[in-house]
Structure 1
Amino acid sequence: MLVVDSLFYIKIIPNQKKLNHLRLGLAVFLHVLVLATSQASLCPDKCRCVDSGKTTIVKCVNTNLSAIPYPLPPNVKTLFITGNNISNLTADSFPQTLEQLNNLTLSGNKIELIDPKVFTNMPSLRHLDLSNNRISRLNSEVFSSNTFLQEFNLSSSVFNSSYTKQIKGISDLVQNGSLLNLDTLNLSDNDLIYVTEETLSKLPNLKFLYLRNNSIINIKGGTFKNLQLKKLDLRENSLKQLTNATLSDFDLHPGIQVYLADNTWDCDCNIEDLVIWLQKTEAVADKTDLLCAFPDNLKTTRLLKMNVSQLHCIFSEDMKSVLQTSYVFLGIVLALIGVIFLLVLYLNRKGIKKWLYNIRDACRDHMEGYHYRYEINTDPRLTNLSLNSDV
């Protein structure tokens, strides 16, 4: 019995180990299955979720959504909601805290209004894409005060009937101090006509600024002075010239790459400083592509190959005719004023004549009195007589 028991004991141990391994494997499988089922159950309707282990990628693309889907997987790291009909973003659009959300893309959703605190429940958000919308109101308090956002894409999205309100909406957002960690800002395709010196003043870590395909007509000196720019894209705007102050700002950023092609450069005497600067600097990456747009005789001429002697400030024929017309009109006005003045003199000729006679008599009396006193002072006898008579 002992031998049998020992033999039996020896035989049963391996079977028991196999059973334990089987139970452990089954438990792990059921745990994974439950987790997968729970994650799948959290995937919003009309969306596709890809579980990569610890994080999840959620894509809701061209599904005709009218609001942000809910609930979202709590471990979502990348969220794509594009090509839908979500007109408004409110504080309730993202009610749950998404601790791991790093990349949020909301492009092409026809968004018009963004209320305060929309993105405050995303402490790990680094990349936000709001491109290709029609945002007419973007509240300046959409982010929390301690956001770590690094890349912000607003290309082809800011829309407002008033250019002043348009640039003010952007300025208020970037000047409230919540985007101190931002290093990339894309404002391309927004039909902006200017960028003020204060607009970018609260972005000390900004390195990449994209302003392509706007209607910017001038860049004031000091606009980029306090930034850490590495790349500045100003292609396809309406720049005609750049001032010395702006060129000096570019020189303050060593290693910067500036893109200036496809602007309407006016090649007259006012662009001379820019031509000289282009010939010396390496900051403009596409300087060989800068072409004159005006005047007609220099059209398509490369700025880099221009001679300063070719740059003249010559009025066009239309301007000459305008000036000639102005001179003729001015002459007519002056002649009319002269005629009116002579007419007034003629109508008041008697009064003027009397006034002149009065002035003449007053002057005569004054001179006679002066002459009398002079004779007394020069004759001692008359002087003593005058003193005696006074006594």
Structure 2
Amino acid sequence: MPGGCFRGPAAGDGRLRLARLALVFLGWVSSSSPTFSASSSTSSASSSVSAVSAQPMLPGQCPLPCECSEAARTVKCVNRNLTEVPVDLPPYVRNLFLTGNNLSVLPTGAFARQPPLAELAALNLSGSGIMKVDAGAFEHLPSLRQLDLSHNPLEVLSPIAFSGTNASTSDPSPLMELILNHIVPLGDEKNNRSFEGMVAAALQAGQALRGLHRLELASNHFLYLPRDVLTRLPGLRHLDLRNNSLVSLIYVSFRNLTHLESLHLEDNALKVLHNRTLAELQSLPHVRVFLDNNPWVCDCHMTDMVTWLKETEVVLGKARLTCAFPEKMRDRVLLQLNSSDLNCDPILPQSLQTSYVFLGIVLALIGAIFLLVLYLNRKGIKKWMHNIRDACRDHMEGYHYRYEINADPRLTNLSSNSDV
């Protein structure tokens, strides 16, 4: 073997040792580096957690009895038996649910906060036992678009509840939807005229609700709507008056509601729509009217309405409208009636007929008692009449005697000389 290729065992062993030492060194460095980085990251994470936990909770993050979702911008305080609006509402809230509580009173500035609730757009207060809403209760809510006060026994509703405390100088309310279904006070279902006026005053106050698009007043036992209650709502598009007790619309004007798209009048006590109302509804370019479940009286006063129904496309479901009175016309479809079917015969409702029968029985009983009294006292009455007859006879004989004396001149002279 050539000598240049020979390598001694000492040289080979030295290189092997060096290679092993290098590998051991490199392995130690690589193993120690991750350990150091992991320990450093763990220490930094633990320090950050401790820093976060050391920070105090910011006010208004989420009220204790409520559920909050910052991603959905929603706060729900439902069925928590709250007696007032929480003071620590988060400023990001856009949808606020305060239903099923016991708020009783909404005072002035009930939602005034620092920072303000500038993004609150939908506020639901239904079924929270609210009996009083003070002036300016919804101030400082510049983005409020929808307000639901349904199912609250409202006894006091300030005329400027939906505007500022000074309605003459405050800006119009941003409200676009106002829901006031079933807000009639407890025990006031039959005597609610003042309640109707109270609601009308709140709707007519200044220019507060001129931007309102939807108004719901269902299930409030309204007998009528006050005059010009809708004149301050020119932007109204949806009006819901169903399930009330409206007997007429003669005081209501729809003339200025040129944007009205739907008018719900189902389940009321309407008997007929008069010509002025028919003309106003026909003049609205976009309106659709719902008239189901009303007790229509099909007599001569219904002639114009039947003619209008046959010609108009305003009323949806008009083929379902039927007569309720008189009895012979019950369940007749209005669109199938002719003018010969509509007359004003004096047909009384069954209740009135029963009343008149009862009145006749009472009068007959009184007459029978009077005749019985006369019969039992017939002798006394006969004697009394004889006495009157005798008195009249004596009186007439006196007049007759004086007449005979005055007629004979000799008796006249004798009577004149008798004193001498």
Given the two structures, how large is their TM-score scaled by the length of structure 1? 0.71
Q: Max radius of gyration: which structure?
A: 2
> What is the correspondence of 1:1-391 to structure 2 with a 5 Å cutoff?
38=57, 42-52=61-71, 56-96=73-113, 97-142=116-161, 143-144=163-164, 145-146=170-171, 147-159=173-185, 161=188, 162-176=191-205, 177-220=207-250, 223-227=253-257, 228-316=259-347
Give, in whole Å, the separation in 2 of the partners of 1:38 and 1:287: 61
Contact 1:196 1:220 (8 Å CA) reproduced: no
Distance 1:181 1:294, change over 3 A: same
Q: Deviations over 1:24-77 (max 9, x none)?
A: x98xx98xx79x99579621121100111xx62000111222221221001110
The residue type paired with residue 83 of structure 1 is: G
Give, in whole Å, the separation in 1 of the partners of 2:56 and 2:242: 46
| Matched residue SS, 1:76 | coil
Q: Deviations over 1:244-264 (max 9, x none)?
A: 110000011112100001001
Distance 1:122 1:41, change over 3 A: closer
| Matched residue SS, 1:45 | coil
The residue type paired with residue 107 of structure 2 is: T
Contact 1:196 1:223 (8 Å CA) reproduced: no
The residue type paired with residue 226 of structure 2 is: T
Distance 1:187 1:119, change over 3 A: same
Give, in whole Å, the separation in 1 of the partners of 2:80 and 2:302: 52
Q: Deviations over 1:368-390 (max 9, x none)?
A: xxxxxxxxxxxxxxxxxxxxxxx
Give, in whole Å, the separation in 1 of the partners of 2:203 and 2:342: 40
Distance 1:86 1:224, change over 3 A: same
Give, in whole Å, the separation in 2 of the partners of 1:44 and 1:241: 53
| Matched residue SS, 1:122 | coil
Contact 1:90 1:114 (8 Å CA) reproduced: yes
Distance 1:40 1:91, change over 3 A: closer
Question: How far off its partner does 1:195 sit?
Answer: 1.3
Contact 1:159 1:190 (8 Å CA) reproduced: no
The residue type paired with residue 285 of structure 1 is: L
Contact 2:225 2:252 (8 Å CA) reproduced: no
Q: Deviations over 1:264-307 (max 9, x none)?
A: 10011111111110000000012112111101111111111222
Q: Deviations over 1:116-151 (max 9, x none)?
A: 111001010000000111101110112233221100
Give, in whole Å, the separation in 1 of the partners of 2:307 and 2:281: 14
Residue in 2 aligned with 1:352?
none
Contact 2:177 2:215 (8 Å CA) reproduced: yes
Distance 1:285 1:39, change over 3 A: farther
Give, in whole Å, the separation in 2 of the partners of 1:113 and 1:149: 20
| Matched residue SS, 2:277 | helix
Contact 2:179 2:215 (8 Å CA) reproduced: yes
Q: Deviations over 1:72-91 (max 9, x none)?
A: 00111000011111111112
Residue in 2 aligned with 1:344?
none
Q: Which shows bigger deviation, 249-258 or 55-64? A: 55-64
Given the two structures, how large is their TM-score scaled by the length of structure 2? 0.66
Contact 2:239 2:262 (8 Å CA) reproduced: yes
The residue type paired with residue 217 of structure 2 is: L
- Segments of 5+ residues of structure 2 without an aligned counterpart are 1-33, 165-169, 364-420
Question: How far off its partner does 1:94 sit?
Answer: 1.9
Contact 2:109 2:138 (8 Å CA) reproduced: no
The residue type paired with residue 298 of structure 1 is: M
Q: Which runs of 4+ in 1 moved over 4 A?
A: 36-41, 317-323
Aligned length: 304
Residue in 2 aligned with 1:358?
none
- Segments of 5+ residues of structure 1 without an aligned counterpart are 1-14, 330-391
Give, in whole Å, the separation in 2 of the partners of 1:255 and 1:249: 12
Question: How far off its partner does 1:308 sit?
Answer: 1.9
Contact 1:200 1:224 (8 Å CA) reproduced: yes
Percent identity reads 36
